[in-house]
Structure 1
Amino acid sequence: MADHYDVLGVSREASSDEIKKAYRKLARRLHPDVNPSPEAAEEFKSVTHAYEVLSDPEQRRRYDAGGDEAGFGGAGFGGFGDVFEAFFGGGSGGRSGRPRSRRERGQDALVRVDLELGDVVFGTHRDVEIDTAVVCETCQGSCCQPGTQPERCDVCGGSGHVQRQVRSLLGNVVTQQPCGACQGYGTTIPHPCPACQGQGRVRSRRTVALDIPAGVETGLRLQLPGSGEVGPAGGPNGDLYVEVHVEPHVVFSREGDDLLATLEVSMTDAILGTTTAIDGLDGAVDLEIRAGVQSGDVLRIDGRGVTGLRTKKRGDLRVAVQVVTPTRVDGKTRQLVEELAKRTKAPDPRLAEHQQGLFSKLRDKFRGA
């Protein structure tokens, strides 16, 4: 085993400060975060182990007397991490020793917007008010009273951490923890902004402009990056999520990008056929009803449905026919219907061969079955 004094490059009469200085110089050159070579890593372990032994008065006395090192803190047992931490302010490479930043990302926000079915045919625009956190106009996110600024923490010297040295079976162990005086920020705010109490943000209502695309449906969430809450100390905004809710329509329902509706047709129009105007969600459209149309037949009007969210192509309007039979007729009308019955020689009422009801057939036709 190499002599610990030779490893550190000091004499056997070196003082504690000389040993510490020598180790610090070598550690800065050999630490794995600075020199990733395998040779440097092995040398760093030897240097650290030598320092652990010689920096502790009791272990150094035993080493100088030729005693056994068993039980001493070694580099292979995690000792070098704490020792290195004592000099460089943190764990691996000092990364954990950096002070916290007051600026943090803000939280995401969620709002709900109610739409009518007509709004989703081509898309729509909404101005939505939300209650959220915004940058404090008084301090502009600095958290300080105007004319003042943060001051370096006197307790931790601006590092955001304090170190404690405790004795253990492995010798002196140095631990690091956030500074209680500055909460790990490395700075204090002697004169916080009176408007935001030193938070750099305040609660306020603001208006967000929403361009809602065509084809959205209930439950869909739209993401607006950077439109959520501003973070502490004026940190970057979170995202805003808009959850869509489409109100039911009294006439039309939706299946995919198609619109569904039911049209009541008189018995005479069903027999003779006719053309009628239907009030669609985006204006009137003519619908031709062929002669002899039956209840449950579905008529299709191309391109009068909802614009697809991804396809940008409009679906169809599908109209189910319901033939309405008059419940009251006068004598003349009854006479004409009886004459019609004689001429058409309609079969007697009977059960259909298919045991499928009207509503089931209508559902299947709507679905294209």
Structure 2
Amino acid sequence: MAKDYYGLLGVSRDATPDQLKRAYRKLARELHPDVNPDADAQQRFREVTAAYEVLSDPQKRKIVDLGGDPLANGGGGGGRGASDPFAGFGLGDIMDAFFGGGGPGGGGRGPRSRVQPGKDALLRLELTLEECASGISKEIAVDTAIVCDLCHGTGCQNDSVPEMCDTCGGRGEVQSVQRSFLGQVVTARPCPTCKGYGEVIPDPCRRCDGEGRVRARREITVKIPAGVGDGMRVRLSNQGEVGVGGGPAGDLYVEVVELPHEVFVREGAELHCTLSIPMTAAALGTVIPLETLHGAEEIRVEPGTQSGTEVLLSGRGMPKLRPNGRTAGTGDLHVHLEVAVPTRLDSRQTELLRELAALRGEEQEDLAAAHTNGRSGGLFSRLRDSFGHR
């Protein structure tokens, strides 16, 4: 008498493959020997496994619906009966059953699509500080994969079409069977003929060799927002590499490389520069013109300014760029004043400085005269004189 395979799984005779799969996975989680070591549970696990193996196979299920038993006398099971708990149930299938896979007879992974999404591309763009401050639109040359204009991404020459792979029968994978202490273990690997696609192109496109894409150089316009800095990236959607089979293109990332500026040093939205002023200007005070990124400005040097003094010009720095690409205010410009002391003086200048020193009570020993009188010459000279007078 034929077994009631539907009853073993607890499903109706018109159950769909998904319903069969859900019922089996539920029972397998309860009855598997690793979960339930009871002898009755193990026997029940063998029975539901055999039932699912039969009902998940369309040919075997047809025999059951006609009143037969495909496992009787080893029929349809390759010499394996329901007594083998892992008949047709490979190790990978066991893991699938417990961790979300399809389970045995669930159809496998199937062929993968020939149309694959493309990868992202990266391009570096050199910009001056002025360009980073104002923003700019630039034409750039991009060398990426684009859709083949001869086959339009199909990979086929003229009007030819892909054909089903004879090696795997369109499944995209081939299986090998091995025996182990667990029983029969079925392993699958991509078909070597069709590379897992399940189909082959008998007459590939002469231009792209069946890939559906070719490399080409094209010109595109990239809009750089104001306030970008070194290392920042601008994303251009769908401007990257076109995928195999004419698949959707990835994104193009334009990375900013900010060139050094001869006057300003940047720290985020803040700008810094060093302005050298004469000693007399620092003492008397003056106004010095400075060309900034926002136009000409006047730097007011107060009388008695010391070296290292900072003059702040508010709102004369870089735009502050938000993550959404919009600007929010402007940074400041920090002008650092450096007093330049003359290294060479003529006799008249020396005389005038001596008069100034006398007026201010700041007379200093004439180093040149001291050297002439032998009272100078550095540390070793003083040590020599000291030992010579003992």
> Taking structure 2 as the reference length, what is the TM-score of the superposition?
0.68
Q: Compute the RMSD of aligned alpha carbons.
A: 4.1
* Aligned counterpart for 1:160 among listed residues 169, 172, 183: 172
Q: 1:34/1:232 Cα in 2 relative to 1: closer, same or farther (>3 Å)?
A: farther
Counterpart secondary structure, 2:3:
helix
Task: Output aligned runs, 1:353-364, within 5 Å.
Answer: none
Rounded Cα–Cα distance in structure 1 between residues aligned with 2:273 and 2:123: 31
Task: Output aligned runs, 1:1-369, within 5 Å.
Answer: 5-8=2-5, 28=17, 30-33=19-22, 46-50=47-51, 55=70, 72-74=84-86, 81=93, 91=103, 94=106, 96-163=108-175, 176-310=188-322, 312-330=328-346, 332-346=348-362
Give unpaired runs (5+ residues) of structure 1: 11-22, 61-67, 350-369
Q: 1:91/1:145 Cα in 2 relative to 1: closer, same or farther (>3 Å)?
A: farther
Rounded Cα–Cα distance in structure 2 between residues aligned with 1:136 and 1:41: 54
Deviation per CA, 1:100-157: give whole Å up to 9, x if none. 1111111222221112222222222332212211111111111011222212334444
Rounded Cα–Cα distance in structure 1 between residues aligned with 2:179 and 2:291: 86
- How many residues are paired up? 322
The answer for the alignment partner of 1:16 in structure 2 is none
Rounded Cα–Cα distance in structure 2 between residues aligned with 1:111 and 1:313: 29
Q: 1:172/1:198 Cα in 2 relative to 1: closer, same or farther (>3 Å)?
A: same
Contact 2:86 2:184 in 1 (8 A): no
Contact 1:26 1:47 in 2 (8 A): no
Q: Which amino acid aligns with 2:116?
A: E
Rounded Cα–Cα distance in structure 1 between residues aligned with 2:364 and 2:190: 93
Counterpart secondary structure, 2:145:
strand
Contact 2:318 2:331 in 1 (8 A): yes
Q: 1:49/1:339 Cα in 2 relative to 1: closer, same or farther (>3 Å)?
A: same
Q: Which amino acid aligns with 1:142?
A: T
Q: Percent identity?
A: 42
> Taking structure 1 as the reference length, what is the TM-score of the superposition?
0.72
Counterpart secondary structure, 1:32:
helix
Q: 1:100/1:125 Cα in 2 relative to 1: closer, same or farther (>3 Å)?
A: same
Contact 1:215 1:307 in 2 (8 A): yes
Deviation per CA, 1:153-202: give whole Å up to 9, x if none. 34444333445566666666665543333222122211111011111001
Contact 1:143 1:199 in 2 (8 A): yes
Rounded Cα–Cα distance in structure 2 between residues aligned with 1:272 and 1:333: 17
Contact 1:48 1:80 in 2 (8 A): no
Q: Which amino acid aligns with 1:28?
A: P
Q: 1:51/1:100 Cα in 2 relative to 1: closer, same or farther (>3 Å)?
A: closer
Deviation of 1:296 after TM superposition, in Å, equals 0.9
Greater shift in the superposed pair: 337-346 or 32-41: 32-41
Deviation per CA, 1:31-75: give whole Å up to 9, x if none. 234898769998997444257696456657xxxxxxx976x1348
Rounded Cα–Cα distance in structure 1 between residues aligned with 2:182 and 2:338: 90
Counterpart secondary structure, 1:260:
strand
Q: 1:295/1:93 Cα in 2 relative to 1: closer, same or farther (>3 Å)?
A: farther
Give unpaired runs (5+ residues) of structure 2: 32-43, 55-68, 76-80, 366-390
Contact 1:91 1:97 in 2 (8 A): no
